[in-house]
């Protein structure tokens, strides 16, 4: 079984689906000859040709708009946006068109397309290449939002996203692109959209996260174990639809929850998880709901390591929850 980075797993998922289904195409800036800004599409042009791997002008609204038209008429496009920070020219297409086409057409049209984009900090990308604005898109009925944290999940979730009949925003944590490896099956497999993963079982406190922050949480769990604290760690994997049942089941067991994301704290996705837990499991809570996040400032280049929640900051909130 090959050992892949997350980036290699994404590439392998696209190769797998493009080999299986001729309707799967890839479009975006530099996705062809250059293989994408992070080389996620490397080799696809040679394997499948320019009719299925198409370089586009630097025009995000055009990339998403063209992909939407392709999807409505039978293709399954994978549109790459080089950085999530540059997706906003396509915001109208995502908000007003692709997320609503199935509803507004009474089911006549579906939009089976994937928008892939790297997001988050950790590579010294500065203010315009490091943002985590996933909460903008989780507010849209009709759009699924997926973010893997491991190579195995990246391949399985991307294949599931390509096969889905609705549009999927597939967020790739660039901090994990090449920093973590694991065995990934060569075979065709899927990871179900909407199913969380229990990374570690525990009894004292629940920690919930997604994307790159999962790895910071794993490091915090190791610190907690040294202090005799048993942590149950949950990787959401999918933000919409969210597997809140797994989270609630864990909170009812531990009585405490810490939610970790690297986005700004105010109106973050962690706030929605907090609200769902408060609505459904407030009687089970033995401590306040704690959120560990980035700060409510633009992403800071110089103090990137301070801005991103690390294991020490997560551990501080685990202690607060347990000692409340």
215 is catalytic: no
Q: How confident is the model at residue 123 (pLDDT cuts 50, 70, 90)?
A: confident
Which pLDDT score, from 0 to 100, does residue 122 have? 85
State yes or no: cis peptide before 241, omega within 30 of 0: yes
Convert the pLDDT of each residue in 20-42 to its tens digit.
Answer: 999 999 999 999 999 999 999 99
Phi-psi region of 13 (alpha: psi -120 to 50; beta: other; left: phi over 0): alpha
3-class state of residue 264 by DSSP: strand
Please report the domains of the chain, with CATH numbers, ordered by start residue.
3-183 (3.40.50.970), 197-323 (3.40.50.920)
Backbone phi, psi, residue 277, to 5°: -65, -40
For the cut 90, the answer to whether the pLDDT of residue 321 exceeds it is yes
DSSP states along 91-155: HHIIIIIITTHHHHTTTS-----EEEEEE-SSS---TTS----HHHHTT-TT-EEE--SSHHHHH
Convert the pLDDT of each residue in 269-302 to its tens digit.
Answer: 999 999 999 999 999 999 999 999 999 899 888 8
Task: Say which of 129, 139, 215, 317 is annotated catalytic.
Answer: 129
For the cut 90, the answer to whether the pLDDT of residue 268 exceeds it is yes
Distance CA 115, CA 121 (A): 19
**Is the model's pTM score more than 0.85?**
yes
Residue owning tokens 């229990």? 198
Strand 181-183 vs strand 3-5: parallel, antiparallel, or unpaired? antiparallel
Phi-psi region of 107 (alpha: psi -120 to 50; beta: other; left: phi over 0): left
């Amino acid at each position: 079984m090959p050992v892949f980075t997350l980036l290699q797993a994404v590439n392998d998922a696209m190769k797998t689906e493009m080999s299986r289904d001729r309707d799967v195409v890839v479009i975006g800036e530099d996705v062809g000859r250059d293989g994408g800004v992070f080389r996620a599409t490397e080799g696809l042009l040679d394997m499948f040709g320019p009719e299925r791997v198409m370089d586009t002008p630097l025009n995000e609204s055009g990339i998403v708009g063209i992909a939407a038209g392709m999807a409505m008429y039978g293709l399954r496009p994978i549109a790459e946006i080089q950085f999530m920070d540059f997706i906003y020219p396509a915001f109208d297409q995502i908000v007003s068109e692709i997320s609503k086409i199935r509803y507004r057409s009474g089911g006549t049209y579906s939009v089976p397309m994937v928008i892939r984009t790297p997001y988050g900090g950790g590579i010294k990308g500065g203010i315009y290449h490091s943002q985590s604005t996933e909460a903008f898109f989780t507010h849209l009925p009709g759009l699924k939002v997926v973010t893997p944290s491991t190579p195995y999940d990246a391949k399985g979730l991307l294949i599931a996203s390509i096969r889905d009949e609705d549009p999927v925003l597939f967020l790739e944590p660039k901090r994990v692109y090449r920093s973590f490896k694991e065995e990934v099956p060569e075979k065709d497999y899927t990871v179900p959209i909407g199913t969380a993963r229990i990374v570690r079982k525990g009894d004292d406190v629940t920690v919930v996260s997604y994307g790159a922050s999962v790895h910071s949480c794993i490091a915090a769990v190791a610190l907690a174990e040294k202090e005799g604290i048993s942590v149950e760690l949950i990787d959401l994997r999918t933000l919409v639809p969210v597997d809140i049942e797994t989270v609630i089941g864990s909170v009812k067991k531990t009585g405490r929850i810490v939610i970790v994301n690297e986005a700004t704290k105010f109106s973050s996705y962690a706030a929605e998880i907090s609200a769902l837990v408060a609505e459904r499991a407030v009687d089970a809570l033995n401590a306040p709901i704690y959120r560990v996040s980035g700060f409510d400032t633009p992403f800071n280049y110089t103090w990137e390591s301070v801005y991103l929640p690390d294991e020490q900051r997560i551990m501080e909130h685990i202690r607060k929850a347990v000692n409340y």
